[in-house]
Every structure is written in structure tokens, then in C-alpha cells.
Amino acid sequence: MTTRRRHTTAALAAVLIAATAGCQAQQAPPAHAPQSGLPAAPAPSAPPGFTLVASGDVLPHTSVIERANFDAGGHGYDFRPMFAAVMPVVSGADLAICHMETVGADGHYTGYPTFKSPPQVAVGLAATGYDACSTASNHSLDDGAAGIRRTLDAFDQVGLLHAGSARTADEANSVTMMRAGDAKVAHLAYTYDTNGVPLPMGQPWAVNLIDPVRIISDARAARKAGADVVVVSLHWGTEWQDAPNEQQLRLSKELTASVTNGRPDIDLILGTHAHVPQAYEKVNGTWVIYGMGDQVAGEMYNYKGVLDPRGNESTIGRFTFAPPAHRGGRWEVTKAEFIPQAYDLDAGRVVNLNAALDQGAGVGGVRDRIRDVVLSRGAAQDGLVMGQ
């Protein structure tokens, strides 16, 4: 089991005070006075809840890599300025999860169609405040097993946890577990495919592929390992399609319907891959983000070969979890939010659209389009709101 504590919480020591009070037999206490003469002991406080944020695909095209090189003064690569505008949202959460779609390379970096990214991406993500990334995608094998190893090595060096791809069988069979307040949060990740690239010889565990039976089994194993909350990242859907496809709808229903001893096996589903923002929806009482869109990407051309600005639009999901009302119960989402964002191609920066509304009417138009898509399946009726 891999564990990381986002915030260290000191254990609370219970202090018991014993007191005795003398009482004269010939003088009864007033009827309204407590018989012990002491105030009632305060009720034990409930464990605190936590906030979790998640964001979409980090997809460094050649232009993104060149921008990071420019930001490093032409020497190396610095991705930290790229994420600076969303750092308050990310670092302000108790737990933050990203999606790294591409793999690390060793000196020769490329964008589409075979992505090989500088390891300094991991430095930028960690500096922004992310705790973990899903790494299962259709590009996970763009540089074979070596690319997976370089990616996860780079994450390890900066303290970023990861789920979805693995260097060894033992790593593949481990549970990525994180601490958020008093809760243990497990993170699982899977992809629909690896662009037809076969899994490395003798390494069938290198990338997790979507299989509902396996996902449910893994979620139950995570629960047995002590997870209070189980988060599943899924790389799925149809590219350039705002609406979830049939597989997304079917799989979301199947996964959220899985229950053990009256408790759902999965508490949150985070979707990536479609390149455009997709809807949020509460399915069987569990929040599902069908697609968060691309947080970072270069110029994106849709299937018609047309430059499509939606490929640089995305959302951050933010969920506030409260502890269960009774032992063994579910940690419930008490507040669900989405934050619209975009990647500014000219500036090479992720933009929080709500914070940038003073930059012109065009920003508001993009924000509103994202809002309409996110709410297109009735999430507002279930309490989803737009956050800052």
C-alpha cells in the first residue's frame, strides 16, 4: 500500500477529570442544580471533513514544451508558471488529483502523435499543489515500458503519487492511498485502450485497462485495505463529443450500483480523454464527472481538421466530503462544485475563467458555454454549483 499524508493532523488526547463533591445529608441541593455540581461533559466532536479537487488531461504538445523551455530561460523546462493561476484552487484543497496523459522521455521530447514529455512536468504539478495523478491513458505506452518507468520515477522524485500504470507487478497490485484530514482516500485509475499498442511482453500489469469486474474488485480491495473514500479515474469517452457516450453511461451506472454491506464501493468517478468538457452527474447517489477536458494542451484540431478552442477548455471538480453519521457509513459529498478554466495558447498559461472575467466578454462566453455543458444532465438539481 502506498500512503501519503497531505496534512499531518496531530492526535487528540482525551483528558478525563475525576471529581467528587461532598454533600451534607441535612441540606438537599436546589432542584434545578446538577446533582454532581459539575457542568455536563461536552459531546465528542466529529472528525473533520475534507475537500478534494481534480483536473483534466495534461497533454504537452510541442508548443507546450517550447513554452516551458522559454519559461526556463532557454535552459531546461519550467512548467510552474503554466499552472500559477490555478495554484490557489489546487493547493487550497486537502487533496488534489491531476491526470498525466503522456509519458516521460530522456532528452528527446515530442508532441503529437507520440508524446514524450520532459520530466520537469512533474515538478510543475507538485509545485502547484497536486498530490497524485492518474497515469492510465491511451498514450501510456507511447515510449513503451521505459516511458512508464521514467514517468513514475519523475513523480517519485517530487513526491507525487500515481495510479494506473506500474513498473512492477507488486506496484500494480498495491493500493495508492492518501490521507485527507481524518480520511484515507484510495485512488484507482484505468484507460479504455493504449492506442492499439500491446502491453509489454511479460508485463500485462503495466497499464490498467477498463474492466468493470476488475474495477469493482479493486475498489473492494481498497476498502479492505482501510480506504474511507474510493476515487476512480477513467480515461474514456468519445473525443470531441460534449455528451457522454453509451459506454460512459453504462459503466457509470454499473460501477456506482456496486454496493458491499449497504455501502457503495466507489465514492467518486473522474473522467478524462474526450479533450472537451463534459457533464457532471449524480448516478445512484455518486458523483460522476464524465470528462474534465484538457487542462494543458497545444492547438487542438477536431476530427474535421478544424482548430477547435474546446480542446483548450476544461473544469476543475471540487468536492467537500463529510464524515459518516455512524461507524462504517459512507463519507458523503456535502458540496459539489466545478470551476471553469482554459489554456491560453498565446500566453502558455492555465486560466481560471471566473478570476479572469475582467479580461473581456469573450472570457464570460467561454465560461458560460462550459457551464451549460457541465449542467446539461441535471447536476444543478442535485446541488452542483460553479465555484471560484
Predicted local confidence at residue 35, as pLDDT: 41
Domains and CATH numbers, the chain: 55-386 (3.60.21.10)
Helix (H, G, I), strand (E, B) or coil at 325: coil
Backbone φ, ψ for residue 62 (5° rounding)? -60, -40
The residue to which cell 464570460 is assigned: 364
Predicted local confidence at residue 44, as pLDDT: 53
Asked if residues 125 and 80 have their Cβ atoms less than 8 Å apart, the reply is no
CA distance 65 to 116: 10
Q: DSSP code of 286?
A: E
CA distance 314 to 343: 8
| pLDDT per residue as tens, the chain (388 positions) | 555 445 433 322 232 223 333 333 333 333 333 344 455 555 555 568 999 999 999 999 999 999 999 999 999 999 999 999 999 999 999 999 999 999 999 889 999 999 999 999 999 999 999 999 999 999 999 999 999 999 999 999 999 999 999 999 999 999 999 999 999 999 999 999 999 999 999 999 999 999 999 999 999 999 999 999 999 999 999 999 999 999 999 999 999 999 999 999 999 999 999 999 999 999 999 999 999 999 999 999 999 999 999 999 999 999 999 999 888 899 999 999 999 999 999 999 999 999 988 777 689 999 999 999 999 999 999 999 999 9
CA distance 255 to 266: 7
Cα–chain center distance at 169: 24
Asked if residues 179 and 185 have their Cβ atoms less than 8 Å apart, the reply is yes
Q: Pairing between strand 259-260 and 229-235?
A: unpaired
Predicted local confidence at residue 205, as pLDDT: 98
Quickly list H helices, the chain.
Answer: 62-71, 80-83, 87-91, 120-128, 144-158, 169-172, 212-224, 246-257, 361-374
Predicted local confidence at residue 40, as pLDDT: 56
Helix (H, G, I), strand (E, B) or coil at 23: coil
Q: Pairing between strand 263-264 and 259-260?
A: antiparallel
CA distance 186 to 93: 16
Q: pTM to 2 decimals? A: 0.89
